[in-house]
Structure 1
Amino acid sequence: MRAVLITPPLHSHLRAFEALSRELVRRGHEAIFLTEPGIALEDGVAQATLPGPPARPQPRRLLAEIVTGARRTDRLCREGLGVLRGLSPDLVLGDQMEPASGLLARALGVPLVSVACAVPMDPEPGIPLPFLGWPHDPSADGLRRNRGGERVADLLMTPQLRVIRQWAQSWSLGNLRRLQDCLSPDLALSQMAPGFDYPRPANGCHIAPVGPFRKGQVAQDFPADIAPDPGRPFVYASLGTLQGHRAGLLARIARACRQAGAQVLVSHAGSLTDDQACAIPADWVRSFVPQQAVLARADLCVTHAGLNTALECLAAGVPMLALPLTHDQPGVAARIAHCGAGLRLHPWQRSTARIAAAVRTLLDDPGYRQTARRFAAQAGTWEGAAGAIDRVEALFTAPRPATA
């Protein structure tokens, strides 16, 4: 089987797709990434590059990011179809955040498997779009609220939706209008841990929650220059690789943790200057830390609610205080609160006093840690990339209905 993989050039998405690629190759299949020029992949990963200039840098502001994403989709459709025809793939593995994967697979007439690196986008009554931190609510009021959120999303995503409609019409693919219309109806591979997502009884039977694709990473050592006092709570705070520049919020988190009587380690992913880092009143401030090793010692994680960090916390049995910032982080934070593995604070709730109160609650109430530890007890059964490719192979070998 020859599979072509298509994903936006976001660090966590590329690493997740690389894990799927390696598992495909390990089983004797071919796996080839379709990318714009200038996208660096890990050693040994096959890559087919579009012609033309390098990809535009990924902006940080939402509207600029939407415009950049629409341009990337247009380029993949405009230049990628010819490249794919030359590759003759048997299957397209497409990121749910890149609608070109669904458009190209349909144009080629090959099976599509959708990949949800973050919160699955598949429609389900009662479940809001991933970027909304609303609860699961299948009541009439909940459905009405979700429809309102979808209308707002359509307005924000106008550049992307325009590109989808243009190429769907150009290739006679039918009435494809939104990102959700470009998803696979057959199989969606999700990095969600089983039991972490909202229930999906109506449309979720094709979604496979296999847990993080990247499993069995190299063992990490706890930093030798950090020595937490075992007699006091130890809190780890990180806003991820893209939001570590928020020095003011990191400083409030550090002050709040210390007010709550906890030690705090802050990681900013190399996004702060030395002066900015020194101004954060934490016990330790570092550019990067071995996150899994730190979580193995932590009593609590204060996080932006990126899915990768949330899953690592669940695997380590560490409760979370979620402070979502952008993208699908509100949806991840809502699920952290929904399953009982932590609390979340909305943007208007992030004073030092509110954060300190939430930290105290999470440290004092054992229920949050017990819930997180129940996930940790199951983490060894999460299937990861191996389970994902099991399902891909099963789909590929299953008899397909005859066409008229």
Structure 2
Amino acid sequence: MKILFLITGSHVTLSAVAPLVTAAQNAGHQVLLATNEPLMPAAEAIGVPTVCVMAEPIRHFMPAAGPEGHDPDPQDELTTTGHGLATLATTVLPTLLELAAHWPPDLVVGSSMSYAAGLLAARLKVPWVRHAEYLAIPVAGIDRGAAEGLRPALEGLGLTGLPEPDLFVDVCPPSLSPPAVTAARPLPMRYIPRNPQRRLESWMYTRPVGRPRVLITSGTHFRMLPGDAVRRLVAGLAGEGAEVLIAAPEDAARELADGLRDVRIGWLPLDAVAPTCDLAVTHGGATTAMTMMACGVPQLLMPPNTHTRLIARALSDYGAARTVMPDEHPGRDAGDLVADGCRDILATPGFAQRARALAGEMAGLPSPADVVRTLEVLPQQA
């Protein structure tokens, strides 16, 4: 069987789909991964055939951010995101049709926001699978915006709405699944952490003895805290006897390293490091949050936008995380505020217990190899 995997062009979608792509390839199927130019090096690194179908990054199609201090209505933000993704879909569809003329797929798998996948499958009259790559995806709101933006394309296909997928695969553990997603009766799939690799050193996979390990991620796109606040946070944690790791891109690492002592800082392979940690301090990015969930690590989250706030709310409501919004405490130093939250999580066993329960639930979900066996029968049922 020939399976075309189409992702919207973010590292989140690439990290999430990689285990399913490699499982399909390992099962003996022909696979092709289609993405955009900025993701090509990372996509090639996972070792599957990859083709570039668009030069622009996904942010090229996204609405501009509002003015400083403006907090957009979440529903309006989701709708405008859907409009942007609709434009992306119509832009890339001709290239995908040309690709399919030379490499006709039997099945199309698209990431949750890849509306081109459904359009392509409808044009080719082949089944397609929607793959939700992380938790708390607000599909309903984004779908409404996408349907508005895709109305001419849908009418050209004789459709009155977005094409329904033949299968919906979801990596969100059922305990955290939003009602709208649960109603769609998705096929659950175990989340397998995937990130770029490097040569491991023993401290990366060895838990320290006699003291907690706290991982702080600086964020690739969102800087959670200014440098001085990070230093105060590190000092507060070190004062409690914790070992501190900071995962950061090299430019951010150079900026933060000044004034920090006895802290390991730089790019870290999260899949190897996470199981050794007692707490992760992050902005709630999907790949990081899902990796920590799979490894049973409680989290302190500082979400900057609608999607990360949904993730933070789901995890905090479950009891596996605590959400801290420094902007809501203008009289407090952000570093001290976060340090207090960390102390609370480390001193309260319930956070770690809930995080481990969530990891156990995720580990019990069908593996990517199991899901591939379900994919194999879809063309026969079409």
Pair in the same fold by TM > 0.5: yes
Give the unaligned 5+ runs of structure 1: 122-128, 131-146
Could you say what secondary structure the match of 1:119 adopts? coil
Could you say what secondary structure the match of 2:267 adopts? coil
Report what 2:11 is aligned to: 11
The 5-angstrom pairing of residues 309-320 of structure 1 reads 309-320=288-299
Report what 1:25 is aligned to: 25
Shift of 1:269: 2.4
What is the root-mean-square deviation in Å for CA atoms of aligned residues?
3.7
For the structure 1 residues 72 and 218, does the alpha-carbon distance in structure 2 shift closer, same or farther, using more than 3 Å as the test? closer
Q: Verify: 1:342 aligned to 2:325, yes or no.
A: no
For the structure 1 residues 260 and 170, does the alpha-carbon distance in structure 2 shift closer, same or farther, using more than 3 Å as the test? farther
1:212 to 191, 194, 199: 191
Instruction: Give distance in 1, aligned partners of 2:52 and 2:320.
Output: 42
Shift of 1:118: 2.0
Report what 2:98 is aligned to: 82
The 5-angstrom pairing of residues 59-138 of structure 1 reads 59=59, 63-64=63-64, 69-119=85-135, 121=137, 129=138
- Aligned residues of 1:194 and 1:211 also touching (Cα < 8 A): no
Instruction: Give distance in 2, aligned partners of 1:318 and 1:291.
Output: 12
- Aligned residues of 1:260 and 1:356 also touching (Cα < 8 A): no
Shift of 1:272: 1.4
Shift of 1:345: 2.0
Instruction: Kindly provide the CA deviation profile for residues 285-316 of structure 1, in whole angstroms up to 9, marking residues without a partner as x.
Output: 52212323432332211122223322332333
Shift of 1:391: 2.3
Report what 2:49 is aligned to: 46
Instruction: Give distance in 2, aligned partners of 1:225 and 1:377.
Output: 23
- Aligned residues of 1:244 and 1:271 also touching (Cα < 8 A): no
Report what 1:203 is aligned to: 183
For the structure 1 residues 266 and 9, does the alpha-carbon distance in structure 2 shift closer, same or farther, using more than 3 Å as the test? same
Instruction: Kindly provide the CA deviation profile for residues 21-64 of structure 1, in whole angstroms up to 9, marking residues without a partner as x.
Output: 222122222212234456343265224444xxx61245499624
1:266 to 229, 236, 246: 246
Instruction: Give distance in 1, aligned partners of 2:181 and 2:57.
Output: 39
For the structure 1 residues 392 and 226, does the alpha-carbon distance in structure 2 shift closer, same or farther, using more than 3 Å as the test? closer
Could you say what secondary structure the match of 2:277 adopts? coil
Shift of 1:225: 9.4
For the structure 1 residues 327 and 355, does the alpha-carbon distance in structure 2 shift closer, same or farther, using more than 3 Å as the test? same
- Aligned residues of 1:244 and 1:269 also touching (Cα < 8 A): no
Alignment-mate amino acid for residue 91 of structure 1:
L
Give the unaligned 5+ runs of structure 2: 66-80
Report what 1:364 is aligned to: 347
For the structure 1 residues 361 and 6, does the alpha-carbon distance in structure 2 shift closer, same or farther, using more than 3 Å as the test? same
Instruction: Give distance in 1, aligned partners of 2:272 and 2:4.
Output: 34
2:155 to 163, 169, 172: 169
Report what 2:237 is aligned to: 257
Shift of 1:96: 1.2
Question: Please, what TM-score do these two structures have when normalized by structure 2?
Answer: 0.78
Instruction: Give distance in 1, aligned partners of 2:176 and 2:265.
Output: 30
Count of residues in Structure 1 that have an aligned counterpart in Structure 2: 358
- Aligned residues of 1:252 and 1:352 also touching (Cα < 8 A): yes
Instruction: Give distance in 2, aligned partners of 1:281 and 1:358.
Output: 21
Report what 2:300 is aligned to: 321
Instruction: Give distance in 1, aligned partners of 2:376 and 2:206.
Output: 47
Instruction: Give distance in 2, aligned partners of 1:361 and 1:28.
Output: 49
Report what 2:73 is aligned to: none
Q: Verify: 1:191 aligned to 2:171, yes or no.
A: yes
For the structure 1 residues 235 and 201, does the alpha-carbon distance in structure 2 shift closer, same or farther, using more than 3 Å as the test? closer
- Aligned residues of 1:191 and 1:211 also touching (Cα < 8 A): yes
For the structure 1 residues 219 and 56, does the alpha-carbon distance in structure 2 shift closer, same or farther, using more than 3 Å as the test? closer
For the structure 1 residues 295 and 215, does the alpha-carbon distance in structure 2 shift closer, same or farther, using more than 3 Å as the test? closer
Instruction: Kindly provide the CA deviation profile for residues 130-177 of structure 1, in whole angstroms up to 9, marking residues without a partner as x.
Output: 7xxxxxxxxxxxxxxxx9xx4xx69xx96x555422321233322x3x
For the structure 1 residues 213 and 93, does the alpha-carbon distance in structure 2 shift closer, same or farther, using more than 3 Å as the test? farther
Q: Verify: 1:386 aligned to 2:365, yes or no.
A: no
Question: Please, what TM-score do these two structures have when normalized by structure 1?
Answer: 0.74
Shift of 1:389: 1.1
Instruction: Give distance in 2, aligned partners of 1:239 and 1:376.
Output: 24
Shift of 1:213: 4.3
- Aligned residues of 1:236 and 1:302 also touching (Cα < 8 A): yes
Kindly indicate which of the two structures has a greater share of residues assigned to helix: 2
- Aligned residues of 2:213 and 2:243 also touching (Cα < 8 A): yes
Instruction: Give distance in 2, aligned partners of 1:225 and 1:372.
Output: 21
Shift of 1:270: 2.6
For the structure 1 residues 254 and 384, does the alpha-carbon distance in structure 2 shift closer, same or farther, using more than 3 Å as the test? farther
